[in-house]
């Protein structure tokens, strides 16, 4: 989350701003991958705590296994897909293991939408819209209906 970042301002001025066109999702991921591209280190500060909710967390018990899903709304699903695709293409050569892992995570999220979440149809439609807008190079906020 960009709201929880501690940023070195000297480095920030060298590598540039957070990308406003990504707007809400993956802004921090893009910035970290950009830092990695310029060979900067990213450090976690474990003594700092930020309380944050990821969507509307829900749980499904499947035997002795608990499945967690975020139940993000359809607009967040749009931004998540559109911005992920941008990052996958732009940073495939910077950290391929992260990109591969995130692709798997995206597939898991789609499966969880289909199996567990509410408003499945609308979320899948907006996920597809995110894909289409990425292909059209359309970024920033969208007008949702």
The total of other beta-carbon atoms located within 10 Å of residue 31's CB is 21
Assess contact for 86 and 134: CB atoms under 8 A. yes
Residue 145 lies in a domain: no
Residue 142 lies in a domain: no
With vertex at residue 23, the alpha carbon angle to CA 8 and CA 41, rounded to the nearest 5 degrees, is: 25
Gap between the Cα atoms of 138 and 121, Å rounded: 22
* Residue 76, domain extent: 2-135
Compute the CA torsion angle 43, 47, 51, 54 (nearest 10 deg): 30
**Per-position pLDDT tens, the chain of length 145:** 456 778 899 999 999 999 988 878 899 999 999 999 999 999 888 888 777 666 677 778 888 988 888 889 999 999 999 999 999 999 999 999 999 999 999 999 999 999 999 999 999 999 999 999 999 999 988 887 6
Total domain count, the chain: 1
Residue 141 lies in a domain: no
Residue 63 lies in a domain: yes
Residue 140 lies in a domain: no
Q: Name residue 56's beta-bridge partners.
A: none
Q: Is 70 in a helix, a strand, or coil?
A: coil
Q: What is the pLDDT of residue 114?
A: 95
């Amino acid at each position: 989350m960009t709201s929880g970042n501690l940023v070195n301002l000297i480095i920030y001025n060298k590598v540039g701003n957070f990308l406003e066109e990504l707007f809400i999702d993956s802004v921090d991921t893009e910035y970290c991958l950009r830092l990695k591209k310029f060979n900067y280190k990213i450090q976690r500060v474990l003594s700092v705590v930020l309380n944050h909710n990821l969507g509307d967390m829900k749980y499904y018990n499947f035997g002795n296994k608990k499945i967690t899903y975020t139940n993000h709304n359809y607009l967040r699903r749009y931004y998540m897909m559109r911005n992920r695709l941008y990052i996958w293409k732009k940073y495939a050569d910077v950290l391929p293991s992260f990109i591969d892992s995130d692709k798997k995570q995206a597939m898991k999220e789609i499966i969880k939408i289909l199996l567990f979440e509410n408003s499945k149809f609308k979320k899948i439609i907006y996920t597809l819209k995110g894909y289409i807008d990425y292909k059209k190079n359309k970024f920033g906020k969208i007008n949702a209906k």
